[in-house]
Amino acid sequence: MSRILSVAALEAIQEHAAAFPDPRSALLPALHIAQDEVGYLPPAALEDVSQVLDIPYSDVEEVVSFYTMFYGDKVGKFVLEVCKTVPCGILGADEIVDHIAQALNISPGETTPDGLFTLLRVECLAGCHRAPVMQVNSRYYENLTKEKVDRLIDLMRSEARMWGDKKRETPLPARDNESAAR
Ligand code: FES
């Protein structure tokens, strides 16, 4: 049987599954493991997860389509998800998106030709008190300004140069609203 996931990833999924009475409970961590390894979740990755957890492919597909944190299509090394819900909108999210789109020369929903950045608009990221908010991979950036975004893009480019093709989850400084992005 041909697989897209590495033996290490499959074993990690099995470990999660073994921790629950029903392997289905390990579906979310399994999908994270798969996405971290492949960069997104193509059908072959869903098939691997379905087989390892012994649950129907359609159930796996359903979960992937429900959560915006899972990507069915190839995305960039950095996925910039800008909140499009009203509080962020009132505080300038549209301008932030336009600014990023111009800086990267892409539209929302697109990935830069070098595969570094994908720009997406998403629903509330639960950081409304510090709007406008953007999530980049697993990290949050709040109280966004155009200047802060410019610094973040520079930082991400530096990270990419430093880390090359290594895994997508790159080590931007932790919770850097007040530090790296300042
Ligand atoms: S409205 Fe943007 S984070 Fe909630």
Whether 96 lines ligand 1, by a CB cut-off of 6 Å, is no
Q: How confident is the model at residue 181 (pLDDT cuts 50, 70, 90)?
A: very low
What is the predicted pLDDT for the residue at 164?
72
Report pLDDT digits (tens) over 54-108.
Answer: 999 999 999 999 998 899 999 999 999 999 999 999 999 999 999 999 999 999 9
Report pLDDT digits (tens) over 148-164.
Answer: 999 999 999 998 888 77
| Domain tally, the chain | 2
Residue 174 lies in a domain: no
Please indicate, yes or no, whether residues 47 and 101 belong to a single structural domain of this protein.
no
Query: Considering all CA atoms of the chain, what is the largest pairwise distance in Å, rounded to the nearest integer?
Result: 52
Report pLDDT digits (tens) over 101-133.
Answer: 999 999 999 999 999 999 999 999 999 999 999
Which mutation among 84, 133, 140 tests ligand 1's pocket best, with the greatest number of atoms within 8 A of CB? 133
Residue 73 lies in a domain: no
CA of residue 31 to ligand 1 center, whole Å? 25
Inter-residue contact 98 to 113 (CB < 8 Å): no
Q: What are 132's two structure tokens?
A: 């406008």
CA of residue 83 to ligand 1 center, whole Å? 6
Please indicate, yes or no, whether residues 116 and 139 belong to a single structural domain of this protein.
yes
Ligand 1, residue 88: give the atom nearest the CA. 2
Which mutation among 88, 94, 121 tests ligand 1's pocket best, with the greatest number of atoms within 8 A of CB? 88
Please indicate, yes or no, whether residues 30 and 93 belong to a single structural domain of this protein.
no
CA of residue 171 to ligand 1 center, whole Å? 24
What is the predicted pLDDT for the residue at 180?
42
What is the predicted pLDDT for the residue at 167?
54
3-state DSSP assignment of residue 67? coil
Which mutation among 84, 124, 143 tests ligand 1's pocket best, with the greatest number of atoms within 8 A of CB? 124
Number of Cβ atoms within 10 Å of the Cβ of 51: 15
E strands, the chain, in order: 78-83, 117-122, 134-136, 139-141
Please indicate, yes or no, whether residues 90 and 150 belong to a single structural domain of this protein.
yes
Relative to beta strand 117-122, strand 134-136 is unpaired
Report pLDDT digits (tens) over 2-57.
Answer: 589 999 999 999 999 999 999 999 999 999 999 999 989 999 999 999 999 999 99
Relative to beta strand 117-122, strand 139-141 is unpaired
Residue 32 lies in a domain: yes
